[in-house]
Amino acid sequence: MCRTYGAGTGAVTALADVSIGFAAGAFTAIMGPSGSGKSTLLQCAAGLERPDSGMIWIAGTELTRLNERRRTLLRRAHVGFVFQSFNLLPSLTAEQNVGLPARLAGRRVSRTDIRSALREVGLAGREHRYPTELSGGQQQRVAIARAVVNRPSVLFADEPTGALDSQTSRDVLSMLRALVDTRGQTIIMVTHDPIAAARADRVVFFADGRPIEELVDPTSGSVLDHMTRLEAAAC
Ligand SMILES: Nc1ncnc2c1ncn2[C@@H]1O[C@H](COP(=O)(O)OP(=O)(O)OP(=O)(O)O)[C@@H](O)[C@H]1O
């Protein structure tokens, strides 16, 4: 797929003829320098943005052929999204935040499912807390529970640990890893952090709007080596 912003001499190619697949049940990290197209890839792959050309398949359905309404429905059924800023509503409790997207979509999520999602992210007993009564890591856990409560085919995470300290980041990453290992959740995560990327099964390195290399079964050392080599090659 391709995605260009702007036109004429000011046009920026965010994605340059990218062809990439993500295995179901696997945890993939996307890395690369600022402006290399990582967030654009996530936005297009999640159906939040349309590429200029190409196709995107999620759970057997090709997204770019769908009209806006059907794309929204497919997204609600199959996609979860977690951002660096947790995007919780401050006036709602943890439980209400987790249930909100379904409620807005006119669907019912049972209280049992909401509580079970919060339990899965380690927040049992904190269902009635408001975001200001939770730490940053706990708020991100609520955001993750909200993203996975309807069992999406894919969870997209854009810098999910970017606003957290290193110990809290480790806890959140362990939880994402557990979602992959215990329920087979497919996760695609953009990160700048080699320690975060090392928790994935595969790391794809982007440069200039395309994937240029990848690592399977990464360690933080092998990710750092790759980053150093790619940065040296770019100079
Ligand atoms: N809405 C937009 N309008 C214009 N240009 C954009 C827009 N979104 C992204 N771009 C440009 O597309 C390119 C890719 O951006 P993108 O945000 O995907 O990169 P990234 O690798 O995620 O960067 P970062 O690590 O800094 O978040 C950049 O040159 C960026 O300036």
CATH number, domain containing residue 206: 3.40.50.300
Burial (Cβ within 10 Å: 0-12, 13-18, ≥19) of residue 72: middle
Q: Across the 235 residues of the chain, what is the mean pLDDT of every consecutive 10-residue run?
A: 90 94 97 94 93 94 93 91 94 96 84 94 95 95 95 95 92 94 96 96 96 95 91 77
Give the amino acid at 169.
S
Residue 91 confidence (pLDDT): 97
- Residue 7 domain-assigned (yes or no): yes
Q: Which residues of 80-117 are buried (b: 16+ CB within 10 A; e: fewer)?
A: bbbbbebebeeeebbbbbbbebbeeeeeebeeebbbeb
- Residue 74 domain-assigned (yes or no): yes
DSSP letter assigned to residue 85: S
- Residue 133 domain-assigned (yes or no): no
State if residue 15 touches ligand 1 by the CB under 6 angstroms criterion.
Answer: no
Tell me the β-bridge partners of 186.
154
Residue range(s) defining the domain that contains residue 33: 3-88+151-234
- Residue 115 domain-assigned (yes or no): no
- The vertex-198 CA angle with 47 and 205, nearest 5°, equals 55
Cα of 209 from ligand 1 centre, angstroms: 9
Tell me the β-bridge partners of 189.
29, 157
Domain count, the chain: 1
- Residue 68 domain-assigned (yes or no): yes
- Residue 140 domain-assigned (yes or no): no
- Residue 95 domain-assigned (yes or no): no
Complex ipTM more than 0.95, yes or no: yes
Ligand 1 atom nearest the C-alpha of 41 is: 18
Ligand 1 atom nearest the C-alpha of 37 is: 18
pTM listed for this prediction = 0.94
State if residue 32 touches ligand 1 by the CB under 6 angstroms criterion.
Answer: yes
- Residue 112 domain-assigned (yes or no): no
